[in-house]
Amino acid sequence: MKFWRQTGFWLPLVLVFLWGGAVLVLRQDTIRETAFTVLMFMALASSLNILLGYTGYVSFGHIVFFGLGGYTGFYLLSEQGWPLYLAAVGGGALSGLIALLVGLAVLRLRGAYFALATIGINEAARAFVSNFGPFGGATGMFVNFSAYEKYGGAGQALWTTFTFLWITTLVVLVVSYLVKHSRFGLGLQAIREDEDAAMVMGVHAPRAKTITYVISAFFPGIIGTLYFFKNGNVEPGDAFQLHMSIEMLVMVMLGGMGTVLGPMVGATAYQGLRGYLLTSPIFKDLHLAVAGLILLLIILFVPAGAVGWVRGRIPALRKVLE
Amino acid sequence: MILQVQDVTKRFGGLQALTEVTFDLPEGQILGLIGPNGAGKTTLFNVINGVYAPNRGKVIFRGEDITGLPSYEVARRGMARAHQVVRPLTELTVRENVMVGACFGREGHSLGLAARKADEALAQVGLVERADQPSGNLNVAQKKRLELARALAARPYLLLLDEVLAGLNPSEITPMMETIRSIRDEGITILMIEHVMQAIMSISDRIIVLDYGQLIAAGKPEEVANNPLVIEAYLGDPDMTARLMAE
């Protein structure tokens, strides 16, 4: 079964490809901004899902990789004059490296202990960056305007950034599918179901978990760089927002953890809901409370999420909705 | 000798789980491991396949000292295990469960080949028609067979079976024993824990007996069944021995 002959491989890619392509053709700033946010969360949730969905390790502080990678990429781009794509990959590489080092220490923890440790890592990173001179300390950094000129001015730079994010999202989805349908991914799913039993069957759990953690941290670093470049500045308060971590979890759970399509569906649905809540007079200060409530309801009643629920109900769709 | 266990001692805090356990297992045999509940049988398995490191002593597998190696390293050297508490990976299908064994066991197959090996193992344990079902749907007897298939798909040299007959009704026990014999006839050495006495007495080439973490007897089934220490510690009364041997 070659993966490029599978409908389930192409479906998410075609959807994201057409949507991003349409945004580029329409060329309207407001549509692009909305699409940027949704694509960003799609890619972040999909990255998280590679760890959470396939391996079963709940990373509550996953946003730390978005923040640290974003800071690093922003620094390389704005202060060192690296081109955007190299700076973004540099940000991703740093996030991956941090995940490798952190993973060697905390991935031996399981369940709630691992989840708590990841929150601690996020808070530690925020405190470190707030006091780190080269990154501008508590005030952060602003983009050097000459950086935009390489891309034909600030307006054009935003479109370039969007295009890059769109491609990144497609790559994340490809990686997510390939991990799920590989021998490596089968080992991860065995770890998710029962780590001790998986090890007895020969799965090198410590190595597999660490590699997965690195993969799932790499992409948020790229995405962070793109996001902060688009914003034109980066500061500790924006980079390490724990509530974004929780929202990523909600998206994965809502769409269906352990599926390729789930985080896409979850990110789109959650952003739609969030947009409504933020503009509605009753809920505008309560959107995080609503997010928490959704998470609770999903875990209680539909733990498989939307895509998982449909897959369970209609077996014929299993090959299509991966 | 495929397996040599030498002076293995394991403590948990103040609890002495295993005390200087020593035995050899020649290739191609079925060795039964019996003893009362809490005697340390499963702990001994855990030490042999690397789930726990012993406090003292050695485990030598196919001439190599594997003491203290993690369980996944032991698995790759050709030791597989079926658990007492059946642990299927419930979100995966029966075939995918068995593929884990084939992919990460001794031969380390690719996914495509692992699917074929999985079907072979499922055929051997008589579960092939369930291959595409979620493993959570299986009943107890089928889960025991799945556990066995998963271990077999790794193509091990040595198979550890932890009470694979427990929880089966008499009509299910006979075919399971046939399956175990067929595995031995393929040349796979078997070390099995079992409480179903008639079964273990008839299937084992040799038997060893654990009590309070110590090996109290070893030998052919009839020798062990007539050993006064074993009768006192485990079988309970001498008539039991007579009944066992009569069957």
- DSSP label at B60? E
Burial grade of B132 (CB within 10 A; 0-12, 13-18, 19 or more): exposed
Q: Is A262 helix (H, G, I), strand (E, B) or coil?
A: helix
Which of B47, B66, B71 should one mutate to test binding to chain A, selecting the residue with the greatest count of A CBs within 10 A? B71
- Provide the domain limits for residue B242: 1-76+191-247
Which of A52, A194, A201, A318 should one mutate to test binding to chain B, selecting the residue with the greatest count of B CBs within 10 A? A201
Q: Is B88 within a domain?
A: no
Interface contact flag, A190 B87, Cβ < 8 Å: no
In B, minimum Cα distance to A308 occurs at B91
Q: What is the mean pLDDT of residues A222-229?
A: 97
Q: What is the pLDDT of residue A281?
A: 82
Interface contact flag, B154 A193, Cβ < 8 Å: no
C-alpha distances (whole Å) from A105 to each of A64, A92, A102, A206 are 16, 20, 5, 10
In this prediction, what percent of chain A has a pLDDT beyond 70? Answer: 100
- What residues in B contact A190, CB-CB < 8 Å? 89, 92, 100, 104
Query: Domain residue spans in chain A?
Result: 3-241
Question: First CA to last CA across chain B, in angstroms?
Answer: 31
Residue B246's pLDDT band (boundaries 50, 70, 90)?
Answer: low
Residue A276's pLDDT band (boundaries 50, 70, 90)?
Answer: confident
Residue A174's pLDDT band (boundaries 50, 70, 90)?
Answer: very high
Cα(B158)–Cα(A270) distance, integer angstroms: 51
User: Which ranges of chain A does DSSP label H, i.e. alpha helix?
Assistant: 7-26, 29-55, 63-78, 84-106, 111-130, 146-149, 153-180, 183-193, 195-200, 205-231, 236-239, 242-255, 261-279, 287-301, 305-313
Across chain B, the runs of DSSP E, i.e. the strands, are 3-12, 15-25, 30-34, 56-61, 64-65, 79-82, 158-162, 189-193, 206-211, 214-219
In this prediction, what percent of chain B has a pLDDT beyond 70? Answer: 96
In A, minimum Cα distance to B48 occurs at A200
Q: Is B212 within a domain?
A: yes
Q: Is A81 helix (H, G, I), strand (E, B) or coil?
A: coil
Q: What is the pLDDT of residue B63?
A: 94
pLDDT in tens, A23-58: 999 999 999 999 999 999 999 999 999 999 999 999
Instruction: Decide if pLDDT at A76 tops 80.
Output: yes
Q: What is the CATH number of the domain that holds B46?
A: 3.40.50.300
Q: What is the mean pLDDT of residues B47-73?
A: 96
Nearest CA to A216 among A174, A183, A175, A164? A175
Interface contact flag, B154 A201, Cβ < 8 Å: yes
C-alpha distances (whole Å) from A250 to each of A89, A257, A279 are 27, 10, 20
Q: Contact, B31 vs B208, CB < 8 A? A: yes
Q: What is the pLDDT of residue B70?
A: 96
Cα(A21)–Cα(A32) distance, integer angstroms: 11
- DSSP label at B235? I
Q: Is B90 within a domain?
A: no
Q: What is the pLDDT of residue B32?
A: 96
Average per-residue pLDDT in chain A? 92
Q: What is the pLDDT of residue A279?
A: 84
Q: Contact, A107 vs A206, CB < 8 A? A: yes
Residue A98's pLDDT band (boundaries 50, 70, 90)?
Answer: very high
Do β-strands B3-12 and A141-142 pair in parallel, antiparallel, or remain unpaired?
unpaired
Q: Is B42 within a domain?
A: yes
**Cβ of B81: how many Cβ atoms within 10 Å?**
27
C-alpha distances (whole Å) from A185 to each of A177, A294, B108 are 9, 29, 14
Q: What is the pLDDT of residue B238?
A: 64
In A, minimum Cα distance to B133 occurs at A315
Q: What is the mean pLDDT of residues A281-303?
A: 84
Q: Contact, A111 vs A52, CB < 8 A? A: no
- What residues in A contact B83, CB-CB < 8 Å? 197, 200
Q: Is B109 within a domain?
A: no
Q: What is the pLDDT of residue A314?
A: 87
Identity of the residue numbered B53: A
Q: Contact, B176 vs B144, CB < 8 A? A: yes
Instruction: Decide if pLDDT at A82 tops 80.
Output: yes
Radius of gyration, CA atoms only, chain A: 19
Q: What is the pLDDT of residue A275?
A: 85
Q: What is the pLDDT of residue A252?
A: 95
Query: Highest-confidence range of A100-104, A271-275, B239-243, by mean pLDDT?
Result: A100-104
Instruction: Decide if pLDDT at B67 tops 90.
Output: yes
Q: What is the mean pLDDT of residues B166-182?
A: 89
- Give φ, ψ of A81 to 5 degrees: 70, 25
Helix (H) / strand (E) element for B152: namely helix B140-153
Q: Contact, B160 vs B192, CB < 8 A? A: yes
Cα(B95)–Cα(B64) distance, integer angstroms: 32
Residue with the bigger pLDDT between A86 and A285: it is A86
Is this model's pTM higher than 0.90 or not?
yes
CA atoms within 13 A on the CB side of B182: 14
Interface contact flag, A193 B92, Cβ < 8 Å: yes
pLDDT in tens, A9-32: 999 999 999 999 999 999 999 999
- DSSP label at A143? -
- What residues in A contact B150, CB-CB < 8 Å? 201
Number of independent structural domains in chain B: 1
- Cβ partners under 8 Å of residue A218, min gap 6: A47, A65, A92, A93, A95, A96, A99
Residue with the bigger pLDDT between A2 and A124: it is A124
- DSSP label at B93? B
